[in-house]
Chains A and B, each alone.
Chain A
């Protein structure tokens, strides 16, 4: 009876969540007995269940893969190397392109110079032609004179 009283007090504390772990163990042990006070019988299944619930175990194997140790420091190094290589080749390609463009430009300039020279030559010769034409004018004048006198 003494024990029952004690258990009752503990139960009260228990439902207010004021019991210690040791006291809760005491309660569980008490309710695990075969014979308990009748008016406490109602709590038996509660504590019985907590005892029962403790034994459920996890039996599955966890497939722990040997970790792929993706070290992000190395990953960043690799990335920057790729970027550098890319830049290098890109630069090279660009420079090639630039050179080719320059060459083309020079060729174009050369062709332009040549054409200009040729055209100049042509123009000069035309100039000579017109100079000669000036004599024709004198001829015309003198011819007119002769006609007017007649």
Chain B
């Protein structure tokens, strides 16, 4: 496969890979690195690309695995993501800034979700994939996808309503 051919194949979904990576890794730089890594791996395998049912789904699975590995090794190296512990410290400042932009709450809320829920929510509500694609990408059963998705959406709603009433009260 030629380089421009490869780029043409990858172009339509590279942003989706990046957004998925960012959802999992949070940091922009890390997400960019992860995306690059995945694209390079894909490029090295591009000879076999024809044999994959869906290159996009395959690439998404690679991204998922790569990011989860990253997270795992980070946890092992005791480099926990920073954002999980600035909840308490600058409470007031944080809150007043966030109130101006309640949309970013949702981002924060999503950061707190378990990885599986994060991924399903990302793939469905941000990227609009249908259920079969999500099943393939995450290697999950149909019912599992729906249950996880429902849980994720409800979790977001719950926290959002909490913050809402808290903000008002």
B81 at interface (Cβ–Cβ under 8 A)? Answer: no
Q: List 25 A-B contacts (CB under 8 A).
A: A14-B153, A17-B145, A17-B146, A25-B128, A42-B161, A43-B157, A45-B103, A46-B106, A46-B157, A49-B103, A49-B104, A49-B106, A53-B19, A53-B122, A56-B15, A56-B18, A56-B22, A58-B17, A58-B35, A60-B32, A60-B36, A62-B43, A64-B40, A64-B43, A67-B43
B57 at interface (Cβ–Cβ under 8 A)? Answer: no
Q: Nearest chain A CB to B105's CB is how many angstroms away?
A: 6
Q: Nearest chain B CB to A84's CB is how many angstroms away?
A: 29
Residues of B within 8 A of A49 (CB): 103-107
Interface of chain B: mostly helix, strand, loop or mixed: helix
Q: Nearest chain B CB to A59's CB is how many angstroms away?
A: 8
User: When the two chains form their complex, are residues B153 and A15 in contact, meaning their CB atoms are under 8 A apart?
Assistant: yes
Interface residues of A in 13-48 (CB under 8 A from B): 14-18, 21, 24-25, 42-43, 45-46, 48
Q: Nearest chain B CB to A22's CB is how many angstroms away?
A: 10
User: When the two chains form their complex, are residues A15 and B125 in contact, meaning their CB atoms are under 8 A apart?
Assistant: no
Q: Please give the number of chain B residues whose Cβ is less than 8 angstroms from any Cβ of chain A in the complex.
A: 41
B154 at interface (Cβ–Cβ under 8 A)? Answer: yes
User: When the two chains form their complex, are residues A50 and B160 in contact, meaning their CB atoms are under 8 A apart?
Assistant: no
Contact mask for chain B residues 150-169; partner A; CB cutoff 8 A; 1 contact, 0 none: 10011011001100100000
User: When the two chains form their complex, are residues B22 and A15 in contact, meaning their CB atoms are under 8 A apart?
Assistant: no
Instruction: Please measure, in the bound complex, the distance between the C-alpha atom of A4 and the C-alpha atom of B126, giving whole angstroms.
Output: 23
